[in-house]
Amino acid sequence: MIIGLYLDDFSLLNRITSKIKSKEFILRHIKEIPPNDKNISVIISKDRLHDCNLPQIQPRNLEILELRIRCAFYDCHELIAGIDPGGTNGLAVIGSNRILYQNEFENIDNLVQIIKTIDEEIGLNLIKIGTGSPPERNQIINSLQRFSNLIKLVSENHSGSRSHTAAATRIALRKEVLENPKDYEPKDGEIGWVQQESRRLSKGLVTIDKQLAHQILVGKLTMSDAIKAYTSKIKM
């Protein structure tokens, strides 16, 4: 796939070329607008090009640039996102029966921001979230409340144990969805483990109480927010 770079902003050009990693893309800097050049698959430009019949994009968030290119080339608009929740969260995006994007996120906030960006720049039809890892799953659902009408839960039974992105892809592809997850009530051992983690992450300064640990496990608080809340409480 040949990508025409119609750009005279060299700072933007350098940032774009550094973000395009996939070997499926061949980059070509062009100085003139080809009206209908079959050798060019997609044009990237700073401003919208008129009198140009080729697929084109004007990049905004470069973190999803490769996804934008594929969507323009394959004419994909309504996408399905699959999320594999856990310590490392997998994300896959499919459209027109193609895998268009895969990535892993250690930080849920970064995952949520990418989901919001994809919806703003392209559009999401469904967000399918695996039912595993209830603490992370619930935190993701709570962080995506504005998309509540798009969220469907998908059983992770028999999903295998390959990479997080492979699991997210299987979640995105599965047809069967659940209306609601089974009620999750943290066990004493899980609460105790979260308390130990709070002490480790605060470098021994605090151990959060069981109530805050419970809120972390059901996705209502992040660990950093819980540590801040407990620190403020003991200072009062």
**Model confidence over 29-78: pLDDT tens digits?**
998 877 667 789 999 999 998 888 899 999 999 999 999 999 999 999 88
pLDDT at 162: 73
Quickly list DSSP for 34-63. Answer: -SS-TT-SEEEESSPPSS--S-EE--S-GG
Segments forming the whole domain that contains residue 214: 188-235
Residues 31 and 88 both lie in one domain: no
Quick check: is 128 in a domain? Answer: yes
Q: Which two tokens stand for residue 197?
A: 């983690």
- Of 12, 11, 91, 114, the residue nearest 57 (C-alpha): 12
Quick check: is 183 in a domain? Answer: no
Quick check: is 179 in a domain? Answer: no
Residues 168 and 196 both lie in one domain: no
pLDDT, averaged across the chain: 89
Quick check: is 224 in a domain? Answer: yes
Number of domains within the chain: 3
Residues 44 and 64 both lie in one domain: yes
- Of 20, 19, 25, 22, the residue nearest 1 (C-alpha): 25
Residues 90 and 164 both lie in one domain: yes
**Model confidence over 138-174: pLDDT tens digits?**
889 989 989 989 999 998 776 555 799 999 999 999 9
Q: Which two tokens stand for residue 152?
A: 């469907």
**CA geometry: angle at 211 spanning 205 and 214, to 5°?**
100
Last residue of a domain, one of 21, 39, 74: 74
Residues 129 and 169 both lie in one domain: yes
Quick check: is 130 in a domain? Answer: yes
Last residue of a domain, one of 74, 103, 129: 74
Residues 59 and 88 both lie in one domain: no
Quickly list DSSP for 203-222. Answer: TTS----HHHHHHHHTTSS-
Last residue of a domain, one of 59, 74, 89: 74
Burial class (CB in 10 A: 0-12, 13-18, 19+), 37: middle
Question: Residue 136 is which amino acid?
Answer: E
Quick check: is 182 in a domain? Answer: no
| Three-class DSSP category at 85 | coil
Paired sense of beta strands 79-84 and 89-95, if any:
antiparallel
Q: How many CB atoms lie within 10 A of CB 26?
A: 11
Torsion sign over Cα 21, 25, 26, 31: negative
Quick check: is 180 in a domain? Answer: no
**Model confidence over 173-222: pLDDT tens digits?**
998 776 565 566 788 888 898 899 899 889 898 999 999 999 888 878 88
The model's pTM is 0.81
Residues 84 and 153 both lie in one domain: yes
- In Å, what is the CA distance from 145 to each residue of 94, 99, 107, 122? 22, 25, 18, 19
